[in-house]
Amino acid sequence: MTVDTAAQLLKATVDELSRRAPAVIAAAADQLRGIILGLHFGDGSRSELRADHSRLVVTGPNGETPHVEVYFDDRAMNLLFDLERKPVDQVWSQSLDVRGDRQQVLAVWRTFQVLSQRGSGLRAVQSLWRGYRDRNPQRWGQPAELPVDTRSRNPQHASNTGWHALDYLDHRYAQDIAKASSTVGGAVYTDARSLWDGYESKPWWQFADVVDTDLMETMQACKDRVSREFQRIVPDREPKAELYDLMREYPAREGKGLRPTLTIATCCALGGRDEDAVRAAAAVELFHNGFLVHDDIADESTHRRNEPTLHEAHGIGLAVNTGDAMNLLAVDAVLSNLPTLGLARTLGLIHEIMHMCRETVEGQAIELGWIRHLTVPKTDQDYFDMSTKKTGWYTCISPCRLGAICAGETDPGKLDLFTEAFRLIGIAFQIQDDVLNLLGDEVLYGKEPLGDLLEGKRTVMMIHLFREIAPKRRPRLLDIIRLSRTEKRFADAEEILAAMHEVGSIEYAVKVADRLAHEGVRRFEEDLAFVPENEAKALLRQIANYVTTRPL
């Protein structure tokens, strides 16, 4: 998207933050709530900003009367965001006009405080704004004068560095040294800080809190790191075509990289090293892919991640064998931690992996039982329990617990603190996935449209449908879901979808997911308060909030 106007810049910023730092958007939306904000920029462009649940929506003027209107002149753009100066240094008289109810104006002010103060540290956002400023210097006010530094400076050094060590770092290495190539970390700018200025000492080990980071960039880095480990683990020997190539190819398909990110980020948040968590993360990925291969056979799925499922492409026999091999190799990956993490942590990992696998197969059994016995569960709680077992443990809960163990945290009490927050987030995530399967784009979602309905998957929408639909229509719907996958026609799936729309099942599921996600975020902040506020925890926070701001 071209960013030529201030309105476009605002939209691009909100879009970037939605993808990279959902926690910032969720916090800003929480301040804005029901207020419609009209923005009139100095370049003549206009836009409206409103909150939709935990999302921020930027549109052009659409005829509604905004509750609060803000008129900027060019100079006031510095107020919103500046690369070098605090907003308070940028206030110019008569550069900003705000109209509206006082309480609502204050809410708008808080919204922009959240956006600018929490979002401005991200390299991607800085890059966006720097680009706009460089392309449109005439629309950017001159910075306000800073107080003159009266400290004496060495005449031979003053010209290029300033005198004090802090000035030196700030001037010679303006806007940070190059981004570190670490997996987690380096996605936000960090200011230089003084340890000793001749009068006051600040311990070298006391770092400033980092609350937000770049989810997209770090997730990709984690995914790449684990992919490399994955390729290293899979043996380079025969039989390639029938086994090892399939093992390499299948996980390389496009995925989000959520599990590796959770494992590595939790390890780093608790003081561990990226390197310590990589093998455990690769093991979870191997288990996950092994389960998917078998799951696709059980569900008779035809597509996975935009490509034919393994059994469709290579036959059921090879697919089953490849899934088995992935599970075996995953055990090997866990054991390979022995030389680096030691016996105690490796045993902790094995224990955790065993628990994860048991939960997963139990969840799978519950769901397959519903399908085999042609029943639809009565309550949402039945679905929550099944979903937690089938996907929650290996998607969210266990990756975090494994990461904590890699960092040396084996206290069951501490490990359990990760469970509830990520259980709720995991269920919300799964419900959203189910909704996306009904409404989402196939390319984005990666599975065939209405695949869940064709498979007869018992989702929250399905449960709600059978609970709410008129009794006289229930037998017809039951007849459809009792058909096997091969007997079911696309029109049958569309008929169920129409019924879901009719009784509001999808809206209901979105609300349930939203409620669970918010509860999960709340538990995250409360239960995990013991984890230091570092960049890795900031990443976990973004993942927790990703569920609340995910576009549906």
Partner 1 sequence: MPANLRPRSASCTEQPVIALGPEGPFPRVRLRRVLERRWLHYAFLSRDHALGMVANVAWLGPGLEAGDAAPRCTAILLVHKRGEGWCASQFNTITSTPLWSAFQQPHAPRMPGPLTLTSTSASPAVDLQLARSSRPCTSQCAWFAPDQHLRWQSETGVIARGRWTFQDQIFDNVEAIGYHERVRGYWGWPELGGWVFGFANDPGGARDQAPPAAFVFTLIQPRGPGDTAAGSVMVWRNGRLRRHFPRRCVTFAVRGQLQRDKVQQVPALSKLFGVPPMEPIPQQLMISARMGDDWVTYDYHCDAAARVVIPSETSLRSFSVHEVIGPVHVEGCISGEHFAFDTYGIVEFAGGADDG
Separation in Å, CA 252 to CA 86, 312, 357, 360, 415: 44, 17, 22, 22, 30
Q: Is 522 helix (H, G, I), strand (E, B) or coil?
A: helix
Strand partners, 24: none
Shortest distance (Å) from residue 196 CB to partner 1: 4
Is 162 or 290 the residue whose CB approaches partner 1 more closely? 162
| Size of interface with partner 1, in residues (CB under 8 A) | 49
Shortest distance (Å) from residue 277 CB to partner 1: 10
Is 197 or 242 the residue whose CB approaches partner 1 more closely? 197
Separation CA 550–CA 434 (nearest Å) = 13
Cβ neighbors of 189 (< 8 A, separation 6 or more) are 121, 123, 126, 175, 176
Is 99 or 151 the residue whose CB approaches partner 1 more closely? 151
Contact flag: residue 161 with partner 1 (CB under 8 A): yes
**Looking at 205, 236, 487, 491, which residue binds partner 1 (CB under 8 A)?**
205
Contact flag: residue 217 with partner 1 (CB under 8 A): no
Identify the H or E element spanning 50.
strand 46-52
Is 93 or 206 the residue whose CB approaches partner 1 more closely? 206
Shortest distance (Å) from residue 253 CB to partner 1: 27
Residue 375: φ, ψ to 5°: -115, 155
**Looking at 63, 204, 487, 530, which residue binds partner 1 (CB under 8 A)?**
204
Shortest distance (Å) from residue 336 CB to partner 1: 16
Shortest distance (Å) from residue 203 CB to partner 1: 5
Is 13 or 183 the residue whose CB approaches partner 1 more closely? 183
Is 193 or 482 the residue whose CB approaches partner 1 more closely? 193
Contact flag: residue 270 with partner 1 (CB under 8 A): yes
Is 87 or 408 the residue whose CB approaches partner 1 more closely? 408
In this chain, which stretch among 32-40, 130-138, 264-272, 296-304 interacts with partner 1, using CB under 8 A?
264-272
**Looking at 203, 413, 471, 475, which residue binds partner 1 (CB under 8 A)?**
203
**Looking at 24, 49, 114, 268, which residue binds partner 1 (CB under 8 A)?**
268
Separation CA 456–CA 465 (nearest Å) = 13
Separation CA 124–CA 110 (nearest Å) = 22
Contact flag: residue 273 with partner 1 (CB under 8 A): yes
Separation CA 285–CA 259 (nearest Å) = 7
Contact flag: residue 490 with partner 1 (CB under 8 A): no
In this chain, which stretch among 124-132, 239-247, 265-273, 445-453 interacts with partner 1, using CB under 8 A?
265-273
Is 88 or 205 the residue whose CB approaches partner 1 more closely? 205
Residue 522: φ, ψ to 5°: -60, -45
Contact flag: residue 202 with partner 1 (CB under 8 A): yes
Cis peptide before 239 (omega within 30 of 0): yes
Contact flag: residue 321 with partner 1 (CB under 8 A): no
Is 225 or 447 the residue whose CB approaches partner 1 more closely? 225
Per-residue x/- track, 323-352, partner 1 (CB under 8 A): ------------------xx-x--------
Contact flag: residue 201 with partner 1 (CB under 8 A): yes
Identify the H or E element spanning 304.
strand 303-304
Is 21 or 268 the residue whose CB approaches partner 1 more closely? 268
Shortest distance (Å) from residue 195 CB to partner 1: 4
Contact flag: residue 228 with partner 1 (CB under 8 A): no
DSSP-derived secondary structure for 129-171: HHHHHHH-GGGSPPPPPPPP--S---TTTTTTT-SSHHHHHHH
8 A C-beta contact, residue 98 and residue 69: yes
Shortest distance (Å) from residue 413 CB to partner 1: 14
For 20, the token pair is 């990279």
Contact flag: residue 157 with partner 1 (CB under 8 A): yes
Find the helix packing angle between 274-299 and 338-372, rounded to 10°.
20
∠355-361-362 over CA atoms, to 5°?
A: 85
Residue 201: φ, ψ to 5°: -105, 135
Strand partners, 226: none
Q: Hey, which residues between 162 and 181 contact partner 1 (CB under 8 A)?
A: 163-166, 168-169, 172-173, 176-177, 180-181
Contact flag: residue 182 with partner 1 (CB under 8 A): yes
By CB atoms closer than 10 A (0-12, 13-18, 19+), residue 205 is: exposed
Contact flag: residue 154 with partner 1 (CB under 8 A): yes
Cβ neighbors of 290 (< 8 A, separation 6 or more) are 323, 324, 325, 326, 327, 330
Find the helix packing angle between 6-20 and 215-233, rounded to 10°.
40
In this chain, which stretch among 267-275, 315-323, 348-356, 439-447 interacts with partner 1, using CB under 8 A?
267-275
Contact flag: residue 73 with partner 1 (CB under 8 A): no
What is the C-alpha radius of gyration for the chain, rounded to an integer number of angstroms?
Answer: 26
In this chain, which stretch among 76-84, 125-133, 157-165, 351-359 interacts with partner 1, using CB under 8 A?
157-165
∠304-310-315 over CA atoms, to 5°?
A: 145
Contact flag: residue 407 with partner 1 (CB under 8 A): yes
Separation CA 399–CA 405 (nearest Å) = 10
**Looking at 430, 534, 542, 549, which residue binds partner 1 (CB under 8 A)?**
534
∠293-297-303 over CA atoms, to 5°?
A: 75
8 A C-beta contact, residue 398 and residue 352: yes
In this chain, which stretch among 52-60, 76-84, 188-196, 512-520 interacts with partner 1, using CB under 8 A?
188-196
Binding site for partner 1 (CB under 8 A): 154, 156-157, 161, 163-166, 168-169, 172-173, 176-177, 180-182, 185-186, 190-205, 207, 268, 270-275, 341-342, 344, 407-408, 534
